[in-house]
Amino acid sequence: MRCRVCLGEVVIELPRHNAAFCPDHFTKFCRDQVAKAIKEFDMINEGDRCLVAVSGGKDSIAIWDILLELGYAADGFYVGLGIDDYSDVSGQYARKFAAERGIKLIEVDLREQYDYDIPQAAAKSNRVPCSSCGLSKRHLFDKAALDGGYDVLVTGHNLDDEAAVLYGNVLRWQVEYLARQKPVLEAGNGLPKKVKPLVRLTERETAAYCIIKGLDYQVEECPMAAGNKHLQFKEALNRAEEASAGIKNAFYFGFLRNALEPFERAVADGYSSSGIETPVVLGACIRCGSTSSAEVCAFCRLVENTAGAKPT
Ligand code: Q46
Ligand code: ZN
Ligand code: ZN
* Segment 154-167 mean pLDDT: 98
Ligand 1 pocket check for 53: Cβ under 6 Å: no
Note the pLDDT tens digit of each residue in 216-226. 999 999 999 98
**Nearest ligand 1 atom, CA 130:** 6
> Side chain identity at 25, as an amino acid letter?
H
Please give the pLDDT value at position 312: 44
Mutate to test the pocket of ligand 1, among 133, 136, 302 (most ligand atoms within 8 A of CB): 133
Of all protein residues, the one whose alpha carbon is nearest to atom 5 of ligand 1 is: 130
Please give the pLDDT value at position 308: 56
Contacts of the segment 266-269: beta carbons below 8 A, 24+ positions apart: 266/175, 266/179, 267/175, 267/176, 267/179, 268/179
* Segment 279-290 mean pLDDT: 87
Note the pLDDT tens digit of each residue in 102-137. 999 999 999 999 999 999 999 988 888 999 999 999
Query: How do strand 49-53 and strand 152-154 relate by DSSP bridges?
Result: parallel
| Interval between CA 294 and ligand 3 midpoint (Å) | 9
Q: Above 80 in pLDDT, residue 307?
A: no
Q: Which ligand is nearest to the CA of 27?
A: 2
Arithmetic mean of pLDDT over the chain: 94
Please give the pLDDT value at position 310: 46
The DSSP code for 198 is: B
Whole-number Å distance between alpha carbons of 88 and 281: 39
Q: Above 50 in pLDDT, residue 311?
A: no
3-state secondary structure of 190: coil
**What is the pTM for the complete model shown?**
0.95
| Interval between CA 167 and ligand 2 midpoint (Å) | 35
Note the pLDDT tens digit of each residue in 12-43. 999 999 999 999 999 999 999 999 999 999 99
Of all protein residues, the one whose alpha carbon is nearest to atom 6 of ligand 1 is: 130
Burial class (CB in 10 A: 0-12, 13-18, 19+), 162: buried
Ligand 1 pocket check for 223: Cβ under 6 Å: no
73-80 β-sheet, strand order: 105-109, 73-80, 49-53, 152-154, 193-195, 184-185
Residue 12 parent element (H or E): strand 12-14
Q: Above 80 in pLDDT, residue 198?
A: yes
